[in-house]
Structure 1
Amino acid sequence: MTDTPFKRRLAVVVSGLCAFLMLVPVAAHADPDTDEQGIDSALSEAIDDYIEAEDALNTAEARQDDLNDSIKDTKDSIETLTSEVNDFAVAAYLNGGIPSTMSVLAVGDPTSAIDGLSTLSYLGDQSGAKLQELIDAQVTLEAEELALEDEIQAAADALADIRDARDAAAAAIAADGTGSSPGPQGGNARVPDAAPRNTDGSWPYESCSVPDPTTGGCITARTDHALKQAIMAGFDRYTKCYRSAEDGGEHPRGRACDFSVDVGGFVGYATGESKTYGDNLAYWFVQHADLLGVKYVIWFNEIWEPAAGGWRYYPGCGGGSPSCDHTDHVHLSML
């Protein structure tokens, strides 16, 4: 396969992926402070690599769309010109072709007759030449299309590998539990990747089958996706998802996570910067509920449910504890 600028960019991204995959397991045994910095840096680099690989794939796919349009236009032109050439041939045959011109030369101005015949011959030759040019162009375009398909497949495979590496870095941060990011401010958080849906747009049923990096229990694939996407958006503080001892609720089914708004654990009633962090996180889940598959969000004595039309009062479980009132963490439940 011929070397192209696209392939060279792809090679650079894949090389970065290999370097990243070597970094993550080493970081797990480093000094805690160095570990956190290394994991955060690895995630940032993995996200950048993913964006670059995604852009490369999108560019190649856009080129493929343009190429398909060019092939279609060329085929349409070939069809039109073929029809014109056929018409020309039929007309020449019905009129007796070149031999009938002898009668033209015998009557009238011979010079005019010869000019007319030369013009007809020229037009026929030009149509044939143009037709051949279009056929050659179609062959070239189709060959380019086949080469581009190989590049797109290679880019898609690389993107999948980089996505896995990116998600592994996010899972490492969730498992570490010591994230201290202030979180994105003013609604400037990263837009999450959409969680997979059925072909009819509905959400597939998912069991508690994915390892929960925050507890060692299990969560659903959709919950795992939301957890990692939140971390990638900058919400990386202490989080716990699976909880087997709870009676009822979404945690035992792997469909819920509690995101602390403080660094290192569930500290207590949120104020100041911690309250802002929680506000931003709750807003982010609500803003992207349709992409992630959010069932409801609880934060600061309020619950948000799409079916209920938005936020409403949430009474907690009495006693005014931060845990019950959800004033020390944002609760996320998934469909």
Structure 2
Amino acid sequence: MTAGTAALTAMLLVTAVSARAEPKPAVKQLKKELSELQKDADKLITDYYAGRIAHQKAEKAEKAAREKLAAAQEVYDHHSTSLRAMAVAQYVGGEPSQLALLTGNRDPSALLGRMALGQHLIDVQDARVRGYAEVRDARRQAGEEAEARADDLRRTVEDLGERKEKAERQIEKIKDRIDLLYTAPGIRRPDGTWVPQLPDGPDNITPRMRLVRNLIEDRFEVPFGIGCYRPIQDGGEHPLGRACDFMLSQGGAMPSAAELERGDEIAAWAVKNARRLGIMYVIYRQRIWHVRTGSWRPMSDRGGTTANHYDHPHISVY
């Protein structure tokens, strides 16, 4: 091989390795971006807090309006019953009419007394009708106010949801930038794979697996625990300290919808960060994703929730 050929070959190798290697963002730039994102996040969180206060006020106003409407409805129902009883009594002759009062006794003094009684009854009926009209109007006003407060509450709920989503998206951006500050320890080969590491520490896992575990634990919490090293030689990476299971339930039970979603998020995060963090493959919901293929494929039924990885994402590193 001539010197020129050797130089050309070396240059091609360097170019190929550079093309495969992912550019590592500068830590200084990432920290600057984090600082800016944090400022924006603080503003959004403050805005979200203001929305919560407005929502609480709207809830109180809506509750007061409903209580006022219920009281007005009770009074309205009472007056309606009383007015109906009065109308029925008049219809069947339960109360004397003016004509009966005037054509009864011809004695002038008795006649005047009856006329006065008749006028009194008319006044009582008029008062009942006027009272009913006032109660009816008060009930209608209370209903309109309750409807308006309910509309206000619906708007504040929608607004609060939008503010919360904005804040959550900003927090996700911060988490993504923080992830970029970390790169898998160890040596990476030109083909993108990683040289294996020895397990160490009391947890008996490799530094690469420990980094992935810690990042997932910090970001997704994993309330049902994380299982990594186990001594059983089953042909997998657990006894080599290169695999962890992120549990979504206990006792082999099917996880809740919220926990299944958490598992989806963990698996998606692992796929997204696989090349940078040295993740080799992910198993979840009876499917496997491998970094070499870059796609999910189904797995055979192993006969149970845990065996089929429905209650935990499994992550193996190089």
TM-score per shorter chain, which class? 0.3 to 0.5
TM-score, length of structure 2 as denominator length: 0.44
Q: Which one has a bigger Cα radius of gyration?
A: 2
TM-score, length of structure 1 as denominator length: 0.42
